[in-house]
């Protein structure tokens, strides 16, 4: 039998969302490698990079406890020993998450490429939490004819609906309440019948929370990342800030699976 290796790249500060990726990885291989590396190339804001939580010891314990066979925490020198040639993420890399964060996705592809070369996985697991990242990585892997299979993992949320994120630890109890507007807006918008009403609902609900500062909110077509024109394979994306903490979330449109019967 050919050897398989499933890889879960992370930036650490592990939470249940990361652990769910390890769980999925175990379905593909008994050899599960988890990397922990805060990639400076994908941070455009030095303050955000400096504040990024670093908890290597407890991360290793949690990942091994969840069934990882190996934790790999490389240094910056290990990943970038000499001058870095950035990989261009293309036009989609300049939209949404890439619009306000110049070079972000070039940095993501560059680190993923280097991590893949070190780990040599057969499978790599990425969360839908970073839906644009997942899209760009899948596209790049297809284009470069890499044999690595990219597996997507659903978003894990807290009981109150907030998508788990390493940055949530920077939210106060009060901030958390404000942040819930994101999942509430996504839930309501994705249950609208048309893309147009979904777009309106998304913006209206988000605007109802003055403590939420919107970066972008859009309904996109999952196949090409263009603004969606129909609810099929459409997904609502939201990003913004609560008290300076950047939050990101998304949800697929729920399309009714049966025809609506209109009463006579």
Instruction: Report the residue number, 164 or 234, with the smaller CB distance to ligand AMP.
Output: 164
DSSP 133-191: HHHHHHHHHHHTT--PEEEEEPPPB-TTSPBP-GGGGG--HHHHHHHHHHHHHHHHHHT
What's the CA gap between 138 and 114, in Å, rounded? 16
Instruction: Report the residue number, 14 or 234, with the smaller CB distance to ligand AMP.
Output: 14
Kindly indicate which of the ranges 9-17, 64-72, 89-97, 231-239 contains the residues binding ligand AMP, using the contact rule CB under 6 A: 9-17
Does 110 engage in binding with ligand AMP (CB under 6 A)? no
What's the CA gap between 28 and 200, in Å, rounded? 41
Length, in residues, of the chain? 264
How far apart are CB 10 and ligand AMP at their closest, in Å? 4
Among 165, 183, 190, 250, binds ligand AMP (CB under 6 A): 165
What's the CA gap between 164 and 248, in Å, rounded? 10
What's the CA gap between 234 and 225, in Å, rounded? 9
**Which of the residues 18, 104, 123, 191 is marked catalytic?**
18
Does 186 engage in binding with ligand AMP (CB under 6 A)? no
Instruction: Report the residue number, 217 or 247, with the smaller CB distance to ligand AMP.
Output: 247
Phi first, then psi: what are they for 107, rounded to 5°? -65, -40
Does 127 engage in binding with ligand AMP (CB under 6 A)? yes
Instruction: Report the residue number, 142 or 193, with the smaller CB distance to ligand AMP.
Output: 142
Does 5 engage in binding with ligand AMP (CB under 6 A)? no
Give the contact letters, 19-58, x = binds to ligand AMP (CB under 6 A), - = no: -xx-------------------------------------
List, in sequence order, every residue forming a beta bridge with 221; answer none if it has no partner.
234
Among 110, 132, 166, 190, binds ligand AMP (CB under 6 A): 166
Q: Angle, to 10 degrees, between the axis of helix 16-28 and the axis of helix 56-65?
A: 40
Does 155 engage in binding with ligand AMP (CB under 6 A)? yes
Instruction: Report the residue number, 107 or 178, with the smaller CB distance to ligand AMP.
Output: 107
To the query of whether residue 3 is one of the catalytic residues in this protein, the response is no
Beta strands in the chain (DSSP E): 6-10, 32-36, 70-72, 123-127, 149-153, 212-221, 234-242, 245-252
- Which residues are known to be catalytic? 18
Residues at the contact surface with ligand AMP, assessed by CB under 6 A:
10-11, 17-18, 20-21, 126-127, 129-130, 153, 155-156, 163-166
């Amino acid at each position: 039998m050919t050897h398989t290796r499933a890889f879960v790249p992370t930036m650490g500060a592990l939470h249940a969302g990361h652990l769910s990726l390890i769980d999925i990885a175990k379905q593909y291989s008994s050899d599960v490698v988890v990397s922990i590396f805060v990639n400076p190339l994908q941070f455009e804001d030095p303050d955000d990079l400096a504040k990024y939580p670093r908890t290597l010891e407890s991360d290793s314990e949690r990942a091994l406890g969840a069934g990882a066979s190996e934790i790999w925490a490389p240094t910056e020198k290990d990943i970038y020993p000499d001058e870095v040639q950035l990989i261009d993420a293309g036009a989609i890399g300049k939209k949404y998450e890439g619009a306000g964060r110049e070079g972000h996705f070039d940095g993501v592809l560059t680190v993923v490429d280097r991590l893949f070369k070190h780990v040599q996985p057969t499978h790599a697991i990425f969360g839908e939490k970073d839906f644009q990242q997942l899209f760009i990585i899948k596209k790049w892997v297809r284009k470069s004819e890499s044999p690595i299979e990219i597996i997507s993992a659903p978003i894990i949320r807290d009981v109150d609906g907030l998508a788990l994120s390493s940055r949530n630890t920077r939210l106060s109890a009060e901030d958390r309440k404000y942040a819930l507007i994101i999942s509430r807006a996504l839930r309501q918008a994705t249950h609208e019948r048309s893309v147009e009403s979904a777009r309106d609902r998304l913006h209206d609900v988000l605007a109802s929370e003055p403590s939420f500062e919107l970066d972008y909110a859009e309904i996109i077509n999952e196949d090409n990342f263009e603004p969606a024109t129909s609810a099929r394979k459409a997904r609502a994306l939201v990003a913004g800030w609560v008290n300076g903490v950047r939050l990101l979330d998304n949800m697929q449109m729920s399309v009714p699976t049966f025809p609506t019967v209109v009463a006579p």
